[in-house]
Amino acid sequence: MNKTKALGSIQKYTMVLVLVLVVLFFSLRTGGKLLLPQNITNLISQNAYVFVLATGMLLCILTGGNIDLSVGSVVCFAGAVGALMMQAKINMWLAVVVMLAVGLAIGAWQAFWIAFMRIPPFITTLSGMLVFRGLSNVLLKGQTVSVTNAAFVKIFGGGADCYIPDFFGGGAGHNILAIVVGVVGVAIFAVATFLSRASKVKKGYATESLISTIVKTVVIGAVAIFFAVKLSQYKGIPTALIWVALVVAIYSYITGKTTIGRHFYAVGGNEKATKLSGINTDKVYFLAYSNMGLLAGLAGMLTIARLTSAQPTYGQNYEMDAIGSCFIGGASAYGGIGTVPGVIVGALLMGVINIGMSIMGVDQNWQKVVKGLVLLAAVIFDVVSKRKKS
């Protein structure tokens, strides 16, 4: 029994261990450059769209291993709409609302065909990928549209000065706010973890051992403090991190604590049984793909803010980054299994590989080869694990 539990724990945290090993590998290969404060900040800012899109993609995958191939094109289209509105001097917040609404509308359009007409998600979203990439070109007329609204750029994480002001008066390279936020965040996480465990024990639910809970909390806390220190040594907390943290917190709660969150897992586990139990599975599919469109709209804002422009080529391969992050982070190719924290680990692993190979000067084509092999290895691990259990 103990051996089985140990193997289960190893499988559960495999990608965390892989992430640690990859970080150590690139740290040694780059002479420690990977862990420089600026590179840690770049890891967050440059991959903000991946964290957001992967979180939404997880809900689609949970419904049965389904994916959304259109998100990159939707990111481009929503960003193009917002950039053109701001170029026309339309109120920034109205542009933000419209970009989110555009993403949600596209998601709902595709969700209708998937949920109620039962058109396969692959076909529906492949169509969306082509349609909205073409519309982005038409809208932008094949040209680059600059985003000059300073407030928008700063709030959504683009440019060199897009950081939360240090209210404690720390200077450049010594940001006190980042340390305070890190410590407070770890304290809240620790309290929430042990209160949750105590509640489960009281109700007689199966829980991790106390030692496992302590070790997990200490490791996660140490990593969070490490990130906080690194951020404090550069310019502090990038505004993009705030949006990522909000998305992760909200969707972690939805998938882990709400009824609709359990419905996503149920549909992926056994759709027929879920439908027979009285759950509206069509509604679950509709929510998953509508939500994906909404988050694609947010990712569009983060993208044009970081790059301070909109181009017809933006968003290419974003869907692959999101899908890869989910599967690498432990989401099952068959649906019903996966967590938001796991997806974040997958996105971090992809980001570390990107930055590490870039620092080493590895050719872009070889970077794609490595990421493709990592994705294949993650899916193979998932499939083999399930065969052994069965």
- In order along its 390 residues, the chain shows pLDDT tens digits of 454 444 455 556 777 788 888 889 999 988 889 889 989 988 888 899 999 999 999 999 999 989 999 999 999 999 999 999 999 999 999 999 999 999 999 999 999 999 999 999 999 999 999 999 999 999 999 999 999 898 999 999 866 678 888 888 776 678 899 999 999 999 999 999 899 889 888 888 878 888 888 988 898 899 889 999 999 998 889 999 999 999 999 999 999 889 999 999 999 989 999 999 999 999 999 999 999 999 999 999 999 999 999 999 999 989 999 999 999 888 888 899 999 999 999 999 889 988 999 999 888 888 889 888 888 887 787 777 766 665
Task: Provide the terminal-to-terminal Cα distance of the chain, rounded to the nearest Å.
Answer: 17
Report d(CA 279, CA 272) in Å as an integer: 10
Q: What is the secondary structure of 169-193 as a DSSP string? A: ---TT--HHHHHHHHHHHHHHHHHH
* CA 305/CA 309 separation, integer angstroms: 7
Number of structural domains in the chain: 2
- pTM of model > 0.85: yes
What three-state secondary structure class fits 309?
strand
CA 334 to chain centre: 20
Kind and range of the H or E run holding 146: strand 145-146
Looking at the structure, tell me whether residues 215 and 327 fall in a common domain. no
Q: Which two tokens stand for residue 350?
A: 């992809």
Q: Based on the fold, state whether residues 149 and 224 are members of the same structural domain.
A: no
Residue finishing a domain among 210, 237, 264: 237
Same domain, 323 and 230: no
Full domain range(s) for residue 185: 166-237
Residues 107 and 179 in one domain: no
The pLDDT score that the predictor gives to residue 386 is 64
Q: Which of 190, 209, 212 is nearest to 200 (CA)?
A: 209
Q: Is residue 26 a part of any domain in this protein?
A: no
Q: Is 97 inside any structural domain? A: yes
Q: Is residue 57 part of a domain?
A: yes
In a domain, 273, yes or no: yes
Q: Is the Cβ–Cβ distance between 57 and 67 less than 8 Å?
A: yes
Q: Which pLDDT score is estimated for 45?
A: 87
Q: How far apart are CA 238 and CA 243, in angstroms?
A: 10
Q: Is 328 exposed, middle or buried (0-12, 13-18, 19+ CB in 10 A)?
A: buried
378 falls within a domain? yes
Q: Please give the pLDDT value at position 235.
A: 86
Cα separation, 139 vs 77, in Å, equals 8
Q: Is residue 252 located within the same domain as residue 342?
A: yes
| Cα 45 to chain centroid, rounded | 12
| Residue 221 and residue 343 in one domain | no
Gyration radius of the chain's alpha carbons: 21
| CA 331 centroid distance within chain | 13
Contact between residue 50 and residue 350 where contact means Cβ atoms under 8 Å apart: yes
What's the confidence (pLDDT) of residue 7? Answer: 45
Q: How many C-beta neighbours within 10 Å does residue 165 have?
A: 9
In 3D space, the residue among 190, 206, 301, 207 whose CA is nearest the CA of residue 247 turns out to be 301
265 within domain boundaries = yes
Last-in-domain residue among 191, 206, 237: 237
Please say whether the beta carbons of 186 and 224 come within 8 A: yes
From CA 344, how far away is CA 310, in angstroms rounded?
Answer: 26
With respect to residue 376, please indicate whether it lies within any of the assigned structural domains: yes
Q: What are phi and psi of 146, to 5 degrees?
A: -75, 145
Q: Which of 237, 258, 289 is the last residue of a domain?
A: 237
- Contacts of residues 14-17 at CB distance under 8 Å and 24 or more positions apart, as own/partner, are 14/330, 14/381, 15/328, 15/329, 15/330, 15/342, 15/345, 15/346, 15/349, 15/378, 16/345
19 falls within a domain: no
- 310 and 328 share a domain? yes
Same domain, 292 and 220: no
Shared domain check, 301 and 185: no
Same domain, 257 and 145: yes
Q: Which of 120, 106, 112, 107 is nearest to 66 (CA)?
A: 120
On whether both 226 and 337 belong to a single domain, the answer is no
Residue 185 one-letter amino acid: G
Looking at the fold, whether 69 and 151 belong to one and the same domain comes out as yes
How far is it, in rounded angstroms, from Cα 28 to Cα 215? 26
What's 112's domain CATH number?
Answer: 1.10.3470
